[in-house]
Structure 1
Amino acid sequence: MRISSFRITGFAFLTFCLASFQINAQKTTTSFLESQPYHQLPITAIKPKGWLLDQLHIMQDGTTGHLDEVYAKVKNDNGWLGGRGDGWEETPYWLDGAVPLAYLLDDKVMKEKVLRYINWTIENQRPSGYFGPVTKEERVKKVLITPENCEAGEDWWPKMVMLKVMRQYFLASDDQRVIPFMTKYFKYQLQALKSCPIKKWSEWAESRGADNIMIAQWLYSINHDKSLIELANLIETQSFQWSEWFGNRTWAIGAATQQNDDHWMRRHAVNVAMALKSPSMNYQRTKDLKYLSQLKTGFNDLMTLHGLPMGIFSGDEDIHGNAPTQGVELCAITEAMFSLEEIIGITGDIQYMDALERMTFNALPTQTTDDYNAKQYFQIANQVQISRGVFDFSLPFEREMNNVLGMRSGYTCCLANMHQGWTKFASHLWYGTSAKGLAALEYSPNEITTKVGKTNTEITIKEITNYPFEDKINFEFITSKDVAFPMQLRIPSWCKEAVLTLNGREFKREKGGQVITIDRIWKNNDKLILEFPMEMTTSNWGRNSRTIERGPLVYALKLEEKWEKGNQKEEGDYFSVYPKSDWNYGLLENIVKDPKAYLTVEVKPISDKFVWNLQHAPIEITAPAKKIPNWKAVDGVAHQPVSDRTGIYRGEVEQKTEKIKLVPYGFTKVRIVAFPVVK
Structure 2
Amino acid sequence: MIACSSEKSPETEVTVVPKIEASGTNAHYIGNRAPLLPSALIKLPVGAVQPEGFLKEYLVRQKNGLTGNLGEISAWLQKTNNAWLSPDGTGEWGWEEVPYWLKGYANIGYITKDQAMIDEAMVWIESVLNSQRDNGDFGPVLMDGDHPDFWAKMIMLYCLQSYYEYSQDQRVIELMTKYFRYELTVPDGEFLEGYWQRLRGGDNLHSVLWLYNRTGDEFLLDLAEKIHQNTSNWTGRDLPLEQVRNHREVRDGGEVPDWYRDQVDWHNVNHAQAFREPAQYYQLSKNEADLKATYENFQIIREHFGQVPGGMFGSDENARPGYADPRQGVETCGMVEQMNSDEHLFRITGDPFWGDHAEEVAYNTYPAAVMPDFKALHYITSPNMVLLDSKNHHPGIANSGPFLLMNPFSSRCCQHNHAQGWPYFIENLWMATPDNGVAASLYGANKVTVKVGDGTEVSIAEETNYPFEEEIRFTVNTPKWVAFPLYLRIPAWAKAAKITINGEEVKDGISGIGFAKIQREWKDGDRVTLSLPMEIASKRWEKNSNSLSISRGPLTYSLKIREKYIKEESDKTAIWDSKWQQGADTQQWPSWEVRPVTDWNYSLVVDEDDLASSFEVMKGKWPASNFPFTLEEVPIKILVKAKRIPEWQLDETGLVGELKDLPKTSAEPVEEVTLIPMGAARLRITAFPELKQ
Same fold (TM > 0.5): yes
One-letter code of the match for 1:622?
L
Q: How far did 1:152 drift?
A: 9.7
Contact 1:255–1:319 under 8 Å retained in 2: no
Moved more, 102-111 or 258-267: 258-267
Residue 412 of structure 1, CA deviation: 0.9
- Structure 1 runs of 4+ aligned residues shifted over 6 Å read 150-153, 246-252, 254-257, 259-265
Secondary structure in 2 aligned to 1:69? Answer: helix
Per the alignment, residue 407 of structure 1 pairs with 408
Aligned partner (choices 56, 80, 83) of residue 79 of structure 1:
83
Question: In the aligned structure 1, how far is the partner of 2:284 from the partner of 2:36?
Answer: 10
> What is the one-letter code of the residue matched to 2:673?
I
Equivalent residue runs for 1:196-215 within 5 Å = 196-199=190-193, 202-215=194-207
User: Secondary structure of 2:516's partner?
Assistant: strand
Change (3 A) 1:250 1:599: farther
Distance in 2 separating the partners of 1:117 and 1:158: 14
User: For 1:233, which of 225, 239, 245 is the aligned residue?
Assistant: 225
Aligned with residue 626 of structure 2, among 597, 610, 623: 610
Distance 1:521 1:135 in 2: 55
**Counterpart residue identity of residue 685, structure 2:** I
Write the deviation string for residues 582-641 of structure 1: whole angstroms up to 9, x where unpaired. Answer: 111111142x23221110011122223233211111110001001111111113222233
Is contact 2:235–2:290 with CA below 8 Å preserved after alignment? yes
- Say yes or no: does 1:220 pair with 2:212: yes
Partner of 2:363: 361
Residue of structure 1 aligned with 2:657, choices 639, 642, 656: 639
Query: How far has the Cα of 1:574 moved from its partner?
Result: 2.2
In 2, the alpha carbon distance for the partners of 1:246 and 1:222 equals 39
CA contact (8 A) 1:316 1:393 kept: no
Any conservation in 1 of the 2:318–2:398 contact (CA below 8 Å)?
A: no
State whether residues 148 and 190 of structure 2, in contact with CA within 8 Å, keep that contact through their aligned partners in structure 1.
no
Q: Deviations over 1:218-250 (max 9, x none)?
A: 111111112111111111111211123499999
Answer yes or no: is the 8 Å Cα contact 1:392–1:637 preserved in 2.
Answer: no
Q: What corresponds to 1:24 in structure 2?
A: none
1:391 alignment counterpart:
393
The code of the aligned residue for 1:266 comes to D
More displaced stretch, 465-474 vs 513-522: 513-522
Aligned to 1:425: 425
Decide which of 113, 118, 121 is 1:114's aligned counterpart. 121
The residue type paired with residue 206 of structure 1 is R
- Superposed counterparts of 1:448-527, under 5 Å: 448-453=448-453, 455-509=454-508, 510-527=510-527
**Distance change in 2, residues 1:442/1:632 (3 Å):** same
Q: Which has the higher helix share?
A: 1
Q: Is 1:672 aligned with 2:662?
A: no
Q: Which structure is higher in RCO with an 8 Å CA cutoff and minimum separation 6?
A: 2
Partner of 2:351: 349
State the Cα deviation string for residues 312-359 of structure 1 (Å, max 9, x = none): 122211124541111211100011110110011001112222111101
Residue 31 of structure 1: how far off its partner (Å): 3.6
**Quick one: which amino acid aligns to residue 376 of structure 1?**
H
Pick closer, same or farther for the CA change 1:135–1:412 going to 2, 3 Å.
Answer: closer
Q: 1:502 to 1:393 in 2, by over 3 A?
A: farther
1:60 and 2:63 correspond: yes
Q: Distance in 2 between matches of 1:546 and 1:397?
A: 27
- Structure 2 residue aligned with 1:554: 556
Q: Report the Cα distance in structure 1 between the residues aligned to 2:176 and 2:656, rounded to whole angstroms.
A: 50
> Matched residue of 2:545: which SS?
helix
Following the alignment from structure 1 to structure 2, what is the Cα–Cα distance between the partners of residues 121 and 613?
39
* Distance change in 2, residues 1:608/1:247 (3 Å): farther
Query: Amino acid of the residue matched to residue 637 of structure 1?
Result: L
Compared with structure 1, are the counterparts of its residues 246 and 555 closer, same or farther at alpha carbon in structure 2 (3 Å cutoff)?
farther
Mapped partners of 1:485, 1:249: distance in 2:
52
Separation (CA, whole Å) in 1 of partners of 2:54 and 2:45: 22
Q: CA deviation at 1:373?
A: 1.6
Give the Å deviation of 1:677: 3.2
In 2 relative to 1, CA 251–642 (structure 1 residues): closer, same or farther, beyond 3 Å? farther
Are 2:671 and 1:658 aligned? yes
Structure 1 Cα separation of the partners of residues 684 and 377 of structure 2: 17
**C-alpha contact 2:393 2:399 (8 A) present in aligned 1:** no
Give the drift of 1:293.
1.3
Query: Could you tell me which of 325, 333, 336 is aligned with 1:334?
Result: 336
Question: What CA deviation, in whole Å up to 9, does each residue of 1:180-226 have, x standing for no partner?
Answer: 11000000111024452211xx3111111110011001111111112
Matched to 1:408, the amino acid is: F
| Runs of 5+ consecutive residues of structure 2 not aligned to the other structure | 1-30, 575-585
TM-score for both structures, normalised by structure 1: 0.88
Instruction: Please state whether the residue corresponding to 2:84 is helix, strand or coil.
Output: helix
Amino acid in the other structure paired with 1:210: G
Q: Which residue of 2 aligns with 1:23?
A: none
2:138 to 119, 128, 131: 131
* Cα distance between partner residues in 2 of 1:545 and 1:248: 34
Following the alignment from structure 1 to structure 2, what is the Cα–Cα distance between the partners of residues 563 and 625? 26
Offset at residue 664 of structure 1 (A): 0.3
Q: Retained in 2: the 8 A contact 1:207–1:240?
A: yes
- Mark the runs of 5 or more structure 1 residues left unpaired by the alignment: 1-27, 137-149, 644-648
CA distance in 2, matches of 1:546, 1:242: 32
Please give the secondary structure, in 2, of the residue aligned with 1:521: strand
Q: Secondary structure at the match of 1:616?
A: coil
For the structure 1 residues 393 and 360, does the alpha-carbon distance in structure 2 shift closer, same or farther, using more than 3 Å as the test? farther
**Aligned with residue 612 of structure 2, among 596, 599, 605:** 596
Change (3 A) 1:247 1:621: farther
1:225 counterpart SS class: coil
Q: What per-residue deviation string (whole Å, max 9, x for no partner) do you get for residues 552-607 of structure 1? A: 000001111111122353727521111101111111142x2322111001112222
Query: 8 Å contact 2:545–2:690 — kept in the other structure?
Result: no
The AA in structure 2 aligned to 1:402 is: F
Find out whether 1:173 has 2:190 as its counterpart. no
User: Alignment partner of 2:416: what SS?
Assistant: helix
Code of the aligned partner of 1:380: S
| Equivalent-residue separation in structure 1 for 2:573 and 2:558 (angstroms) | 33
> Do the aligned partners of 2:83 and 2:94 also contact (CA within 8 Å) in 1?
yes
1:384 alignment partner AA? V
Amino acid corresponding to residue 66 of structure 2 in structure 1: T
Native 8 Å contact 2:142 2:149 kept in 1? no
Q: CA RMSD in A?
A: 2.7
SS at 1:525 equivalent: coil
The aligned counterpart of 2:23 is none
The residue aligned with 2:158 is 164
Partner letter of residue 641 of structure 2?
P
CA contact (8 A) 1:556 1:665 kept: yes
Identity %: 34
2:402 and 2:573 in contact (8 A); partners too: no
Taking structure 2 as the reference length, what is the TM-score of the superposition?
Answer: 0.86
Aligned length: 628
Find the aligned partners of 1:193 and 1:512 in 2 and give their Cα distance.
49
Residues 330 and 414 of structure 1 are in contact (CA less than 8 Å); yes or no, is this contact kept in structure 2? yes
Q: Which sits farther off after the overlay, 222-231 or 546-555?
A: 222-231
**Aligned position for 1:301:** 300
In the alignment, the residues of structure 2 paired with residue 128 and residue 251 of structure 1 have an alpha-carbon distance, to the nearest angstrom, of: 33
State the match for 2:580 in structure 1. none
Q: Residues of 1 paired with 2:622 and 2:240: CA distance?
A: 46
**What is the CA-CA distance between 1:360 and the residue it aligns to?**
0.7
1:534 Cα deviation (Å)?
A: 0.2
